[in-house]
Chains A and B, each alone.
Chain A
């Protein structure tokens, strides 16, 4: 049961097109004209998309494009103004409790408890998701080995470097084996090597059947996704695999694609 994780996937960069072979088409996230208004301001404007089981779905957009707002609606944190959303088979408006039980969430702000130790954070969230003590203990041991965290186990989370914290937050978000995990800029503020390590964890999670919905500002990360959507001013302007997008926009890389689309943005956000 140990350490098969790193070997079970051919490489962390398997994402480029490898997903096309899966055809069971189980929809884990469905958004239909999902809209959120704050007063007269439309933060998310009729977005529609579907995400399949095991997919890594990248959700790109400039600052203020509405990524976090869209994600919050899908997680049941915020109620949509109109439109429909189904996550893990449950309606986000009418069955938020069932949605919550089947998802994991890593927010844009780092959000574990800094004054709790590493294992205490894990135990807490395991407990919140109704796992038994044995399950928690077993999985914690496994996780500590996998993350090479045995020495940090007893340290306060606030004392860890940012890269460690992010890995831990992700591991906690998927600790209860959710069907889908929502990651809001999970790797903000760390260097490319640390980001790559983080993405190894993401691939590992998809290998275990967890669907990943991730927002990012880093275009290198966009390349790792199976499909990406690019949001401009609350609307989805493009949605396809990175390879197809590059072809369509005749771009060398995702950064060029993004620049072409983002130029259209009218919204100015700090």
Chain B
């Protein structure tokens, strides 16, 4: 136990004293998320909106006025029938059409309930998600206002409809994607480099002639990166919820569980890479080419898997990030629980068992 503790302390020293690397590891997720957040706000500013309202009454006008006065939106057109919607989008006159149902204000007054439909051009799904979200907010605040003046319980239900990209592929992909990427990078890439560095420096030899158990060497190598990844997970979550306003719709515990599982898979991958290489450069290249590129291209982070050629879809099946990102989307965005991601959990568990077994077997007790 003492062996293990002195060794873990040593690993923390290595990381904490290498300021540059540590800064990169801690700041990378923050920068990625903030860059995305920035891109997102410029996207939404002055979004062109068309309105379809069959009646011209006070409530409708109030809502339109509120939307128009927000810096996010400019109401550029009033249309009068559903047939015009297609044309609006086709000619790129607006990104969003707000449809008030027939007898909107009457329904609201008599039944206390009314519907608004938000039809968005979702070719840029991230933008579409955010501006529909903002409109819903504006409507909700108007509803609050109404309830303040009268005692009646009013309920305006916005119903969102995404055109051209109905499954919202790519929407809010960014947070799950960044998570999938950062964890893999830190766990797999950094762990493998840390182990290979010892080989390169010749210190591995000293460790191998010592009575230090190989499993201790491995455990102490992965512990700091585990901690770092957990920290990054927390940062990404906080930024995601408070800066990007992408809330965790489903169970947070499930999300943590799946993430820990994914960290484990990544660590095992790092171990495997370290057993295959003997120079830091090679480790970096393998994790770069072998992990980063598949993660970026085949995990569904950027390109939807459904649209890939079948062969690439098969390959994507063995990319752990694909399963993790899918699970995070399900839990975080769709708001479902662990029971909806059982398949992902099973695949990731299977991967971790295989990887750990292989890399433990291959971790050399001798040099050769």
- Please tell me if A261 contacts chain B, counting CB pairs below 8 Å: no
Interface residues on A, range: 20 to 34
* Docked-complex contact A116 and B10, CB < 8 angstroms: yes
* Minimum Cβ distance to chain B for residue A182 (Å): 8
- Please tell me if A112 contacts chain B, counting CB pairs below 8 Å: yes
* Docked-complex contact B366 and A124, CB < 8 angstroms: no
Interface of A: prevailing SS: loop
* Docked-complex contact B7 and A128, CB < 8 angstroms: yes
* Docked-complex contact B201 and A77, CB < 8 angstroms: no
Interface residues on B, range: 20 to 34
Chain B residues positioned under 8 Å from A76 (CB to CB):
209, 366
One digit per residue, 1 when the CB lies within 8 angstroms of any chain A CB and 0 when it does not, for chain B 89-112 equals: 000000000000000000000000
Chain A residues positioned under 8 Å from B18 (CB to CB):
115
* Minimum Cβ distance to chain A for residue B284 (Å): 19
Chain A residues positioned under 8 Å from B9 (CB to CB):
124
Closest to A120 in B: B13
* Docked-complex contact B202 and A77, CB < 8 angstroms: no
A101 to B211, CA, bound (A): 6
* Minimum Cβ distance to chain B for residue A112 (Å): 7
A76 to B205, CA, bound (A): 10
- Please tell me if B306 contacts chain A, counting CB pairs below 8 Å: no
Quick one: which of B338-368 are within 8 Å of A by CB? 365-368
Contact among A75, A107, A111, A115 for B17, CB-based, below 8 A: A115
One digit per residue, 1 when the CB lies within 8 angstroms of any chain B CB and 0 when it does not, for chain A 127-145 equals: 1111010000000000000
- Please tell me if A79 contacts chain B, counting CB pairs below 8 Å: yes
A75 to B366, CA, bound (A): 10
Closest to A173 in B: B206
* Docked-complex contact B367 and A109, CB < 8 angstroms: no
Chain B residues positioned under 8 Å from A126 (CB to CB):
6
- Please tell me if A123 contacts chain B, counting CB pairs below 8 Å: yes
Chain B residues positioned under 8 Å from A108 (CB to CB):
202
Q: What 14 new A-B contacts, CB under 8 Å, besides A120-B10, A129-B211?
A: A77-B208, A97-B211, A100-B210, A100-B211, A101-B211, A105-B205, A107-B205, A111-B201, A111-B202, A111-B206, A115-B17, A116-B10, A125-B206, A128-B7
Q: Can you sample 9 A-B contacts with CB below 8 Å?
A: A77-B205, A115-B18, A116-B10, A123-B6, A125-B206, A125-B210, A127-B5, A128-B3, A132-B2
B interface, CB within 8 angstroms of A? 2-3, 5-7, 9-10, 13-14, 17-18, 201-203, 205-212, 365-368
